[in-house]
Each structure stands twice: as structure tokens, then as C-alpha cells.
Structure 1
Amino acid sequence: MQRRTLLHAAAALLGTAFLASPLSGLTQTKPLVEVWKTPTCGCCHDWVTHMESNGFQVKTYDISDAAKAAQRRQLGLADKFGSCHTALVDGYVLEGHVPAREVRRLLKERPKALGLAVPGMPIGSPGMDGPAYAGRKDPYGVLLVQRGGGSSVYQSY
């Protein structure tokens, strides 16, 4: 009787381990991106859509511009990197229209950094690439921002 109970318990544990394994795909979750933005900003909405369509789960907080600037500073990001929205993903700060591709790379490489920023609102970046811009693309850099305030180009577009 004890042997049968032990075998059932082992089988249950193995089944649970299989279900929880990354190979099963059942526990794969989308990374959560928290976004602080103003409620009326269309390009922020478009960036959120870009992130969602690239496999991220997004939670937005609609706040004033002043509260958004305060949130950016609270997360440790200098105003010089500012854009129209601030986000947080797995401990990294994202500022502005950072492409999902670079966020995925950041989460894979896990550099010792504060996060990524695309200062300003460059046309052609995700969220700034709608029909109103008629396909125009301005060159821009995705910056890797260090905790001390320094930065380097992480990827050029």
C-alpha cells in the first residue's frame, strides 16, 4: 500500500514537473511592462499596441505630465532622457519609443544598467510610425542608460 502511494506521488510530481517545464509552453508568461503616460497621447497608445503585438503584457497608468516626470525621476532616470512615456519591465526602465526588439535583447543580455531610452519622439520609431508620418523615418539611437546617468548607443536605427 505504501509503495502504491509512493508511486502515485512520484508520478504526480513528474507530471507537475513536465507541465511546469519551459518545453511544455504552458508556463510561458509574457513579460509585464508597466507604462506611465498621459491619457490623451496617441503615440503612447500606439507604442503600447506595438509592445502587446510583440509578446508583452502591458499595464498602463494614465497620469499627468508632472506626475509622469516625477515617476521618471523616482525610477532614477534623468530628465535629459525624457520622452512621452516611462515604463518598467523586469527591473529595467524604458523611456520613450524603445522598439520591442531591443527590450527583448535587454531582457536576454541582462546588462548592469538602469534601462533603455529613446529621448524625444523620433519619427519612424514604434508608436511614431503611423500613417500620419507617410513612411518617414528619422535616424535615432536606443540608448543604454547606466545607473550613474551615463549612456551609450545600444542600437542605431
Structure 2
Amino acid sequence: MKKKFSLALLAMLAAAPLAWAGEKPEVVVYKNPWCGCCEEWAEALRKNGYPVVTHDQEDLSHTKRAAGVPNDMESCHTAKVDGYVLEGHVPLEAISKLLSERPAVAGLAVPGMPQGSLGMGDDPNARYDVMTLPELAGARPQVFYQAGAR
């Protein structure tokens, strides 16, 4: 009996990664309660299969500091996904690239609120840079993804 149970348990554990492989990780978004573009960004993630949880906060400065977002990289909302920080209107393609490549960075940022970015009109031709948030203090952000580049 014990042997049958062990074999069944091993089979279930071996199949588990296959069942979860297609699922996208949860995105936790911290945003102002009155910010419509933040809600549009979160909704776009939901429509693309990400489970999204939002937390409305009047003041995001503590959240941004705790996430390690420098002042010059700030935008209107901060999110966390699978151990990474997403600051601002990071496009879906950059999020997918981040999660598949798993670079040694703290996360990604789209400083400011570029017109045409996801949540700000979602224009596929809008050109703006998605920057890395370095893990190490003193390291310089690098361009990770160029939106609108064809």
C-alpha cells in the first residue's frame, strides 16, 4: 500500500510543473485610487492572462523607496511580479522578456508616463525605452527593451 501511494505521489509531483508551466505569475500593483491609467495598465495585464491584485494607496513614496525605485525612474504606479519590480507603464513584451530571460536586475522601469505606452493610449508605434532597475547600488540603469522599435 505504501509503495502505491509513493508512486502516485511521485507521478503527481512530476506532472505539477507541466500544469503550472502555462500559468503567468501574479502581479501585485500599488497605485493611487484615482489613477485611471494605472487601472488601464492592470486591466491590460489581466486580459493577457496575468492574475492581478491592486492595492490603492494615497502616497506611494514609501512603496517606491522600499522597492528601490530611484527618484529619476519613478512613474505613477509600482508593481511586483515573480521577484521583480515593475515601475510605470512597462509593456507586456518587456514583462515577458524579463520573466523568460530572468536577468540579474531588480526590475524594469518606464520613467514618467510616455504617451502611447500601455495604459496611456497603448499605441504600438509609440517609442520609449524600458530601463533596468539595477540590483546593485551605484550600478547604472541600462536599456532593456525599446518599445515601438521595429
Instruction: Work out the CA distance in 2 between the residues paired with 1:138 and 1:110.
Output: 25
What residue is the counterpart of 1:12 in the other structure? 8
For residue 141 of structure 1, the aligned residue among 122, 129, 144 is: 129
Q: What is the alpha-carbon distance in structure 2 between the residues aligned to residue 59 and residue 126 of structure 1?
A: 18
Would you say 1:101 and 2:88 are equivalent positions? no
Matching residue within 45, 53, 71 for 1:79: 71
For structure 1, which runs of at least 5 residues remain unmatched after alignment? none
Query: CA distance change for structure 1 residues 110 and 41 in 2, over 3 Å: closer, same or farther?
Result: same
Kindly state the Cα deviation for residue 91 of structure 1 after the two structures are TM-superposed: 1.6
Does the CA contact (< 8 Å) of 1:84 and 1:121 recur in 2?
A: yes
Q: Check 1:21–1:121 CA distance in 2 against 1; reply closer, same or farther (3 A cut).
A: closer
User: CA separation in 2, counterparts of 1:98 and 1:26?
Assistant: 24
Residue in 2 that maps onto 1:43: 37
Instruction: Name the SS for the 1:74 alignment partner.
Output: helix
CA offset digits 1:6-34 (Å, max 9, x no partner): 55324423542354241xx2675430111
Structure 1 position 151 matched with structure 2 position 141: yes
SS in 2 for 1:151: coil
C-alpha separation in 1, matches of 2:86 and 2:20? 28
Question: Which stretches in structure 2 are left out of the alignment for 5+ residues?
Answer: none
Relative to the length of structure 2, the TM-score reads 0.85
| Cα distance change on mapping 1:26 and 1:70 into 2, 3 Å | closer
Q: Give the TM-score normalised by structure 1.
A: 0.81
Percent sequence identity is 40
1:137–1:42: structure 2 CA closer, same or farther, 3 Å change rule?
farther
Task: Measure, in 2, the Cα distance between the counterparts of 1:8 and 1:136.
Answer: 54
Higher helix residue share: 1
Cα distance in 1 between the residues matched to 2:53 and 2:82? 13
Residue in 2 aligned with 1:54? 48
Structure 1 residues 106 and 15, CA, compared in 2 at 3 Å: closer, same or farther?
same
